[in-house]
Amino acid sequence: MRVLGIDPGLTRCGVGIVDVSQNRRATLVHVTVIRTPAGEKHENRLLTISDGIERLLDEYRPERVALERVFADTNVSTVMGTAQVSGIAMLAAVKRLLPIGMHTPTEVKAAVTGYGQADKKQVGTMVAKILRLEEIPKPADAADALALAICHAWRSPLGALAATAMTDLHGGAASRERPTSRPTSAQAAWLAAEQAAKAASPERRGLRR
């Protein structure tokens, strides 16, 4: 499964693309940050981001798109810009008939670190570990976009079905009762994320970073 994750922002819009195999092994495909100067006209900034997202969608042809869910903030202008970028990204995906997933920051943090209140450094460190990178992707918007893509792939119904199919292929019910190998670090993180997500209250899921 190829997923394109977008961390929406008007000044910096992070875009990360990962391939996730049936055993949930994630591999980096591409990561970038689309930047727009604060002094430029608002409509031109949106056009720059729109063109960048559409170009990446056409070049890398993801199967799904993951976006951070936008929440209210004290800075209304920042929220408005973020929401507008999210709308642009959703439109670009819908035009290509791509499924869209929306995830809260808490859900993403729980998926990649096992802890819904992890800080940006912890998220970046786990993204680098999951993708087997020598360095943490920078800036943080890039790491956040990759975390969104990983989260979506691991939490999607197709990802769960693929894992079940792999289990059946290698021994059916017997293999489920007596696992023959330890889970990978990525799988361990996913299991921890599932437990954290179930334990988290709805109020905590809705907290902004």
- Which helix (H) or strand (E) element contains residue 87? helix 76-95
The one catalytic residue among 141, 144, 168, 194: 141
Determine whether the annotation assigns residue 7 to a binding site: yes
In the residue annotation, 107 being an active-site residue is answered as no
- Which helix (H) or strand (E) element contains residue 53? helix 42-60
In the residue annotation, 73 being an active-site residue is answered as no
The two most distant CA atoms of the chain are separated, in Å, by: 63
Q: What is the rounded distance in angstroms from the CA atom of residue 90 to the CA atom of residue 101? A: 10
The one catalytic residue among 7, 19, 63, 134: 7
The one catalytic residue among 19, 43, 68, 168: 68
In the residue annotation, 141 being an active-site residue is answered as yes
Nearest to 149 by CA among 93, 87, 82, 78: 93
Mark the binding-site residues for Mg(2+), compressed into ranges.
Answer: 7, 68, 141
Mark the binding-site residues, compressed into ranges.
Answer: 7, 68, 141
Active site residues: 7, 68, 141
